Structure 1
Amino acid sequence: MNITITHAAMTHDKENGYRGIVQFDAEGHKHPYEVTLQLNSIRGTTWDYSLRFAKDPGSEEEINQVEAAIEQDDDLFDSLIDAAAQTLPEEEEELS
C-alpha cells in the first residue's frame, strides 16, 4: 500500500514513554488517516497503535484495508514510526 505522510509528531517522557501521531493519505482512498503510536519504555519494546480517520469518516472497507496493510507490512508500520521519531530532538531518538 502506498501512503503519503502529511504530518508526524512524537513526544517522550518517563511516565508515558514514546507517543506519536502520524497523519497520512493512502493511495486510492478518499479520506486521510491518523495513527497514534505508543511505546511504553517501562512495559517493553512493542509498539501499540490506534488507527482512525483523520478528518471525516470514511468507509469501513477502506479503513480495514489500511489496518490489514499495517498488520502485514512491517516496512509500512516502520515508516510510520520513523516519520514520528524524526520529529524528536536528537538526544531522544534511540527507539531501536
Structure 2
Amino acid sequence: MEELTIVEAQMKRQEDGSYIGKTVFQVSSHKAGYEIAFYSKDGGDWDYSLHYASEPGIEEQFMAVDTRIEEDDEWFDALLDAAWDTLAEE
C-alpha cells in the first residue's frame, strides 16, 4: 500500500460560514506532489479538487491518486482532517 505524507495544510472559515482549505501531500513512489483543495458550505458535505502541488507528474499516477481519494475514506479523511485541524478556534 502506498503511503501518504502530509506536507502542509490549512483551513479557513469564510464570512458566509463556508469553509475553504487545502492539503499538500506526497505519495511514496510518486515524483510529483499533490494538492487537494476542499470546499464546504456548512462543514458537512465536502467538494474537493485535486491538482499537482508544483510540477506535473505522470498522468497515470495522478489518476490513481484521484481514484484512491474517491474510493478510500481513510485517505480522504486523513487529508481533510489535516486541513481541518489547522482551523483557528472561534
TM exceeds 0.5?
Answer: yes
Q: How many corresponding residue pairs?
A: 89
Corresponding residue of 2:31: 30
Partner amino acid, structure 2, of 1:73: D
Sequence identity, in percent?
42
Pairs within 5 Å for 1:31-50: 31-41=32-42, 45-50=44-49
Corresponding residue of 1:52: 51
TM-score w.r.t. length of structure 2? 0.91
Pairs within 5 Å for 1:1-96: 1-15=2-16, 17-41=18-42, 45-91=44-90
Q: Tell me which stretches of 4 or more aligned residues in structure 1 moved more than 3 Å.
A: none
**By how many angstroms is 1:15 displaced?**
2.0
**By how many angstroms is 1:13 displaced?**
1.8
Cα-to-partner distance string for 1:47-79 (whole Å, 9 max, x where unaligned)? 100001000011110100100110111011001
In structure 1, stretches of 5+ residues that fail to align are 92-96
Partner amino acid, structure 1, of 2:13: H
TM-score w.r.t. length of structure 1? 0.86
- What value does the CA root-mean-square deviation take over the aligned residues? 1.4
CA distance in 2, matches of 1:48, 1:19: 10
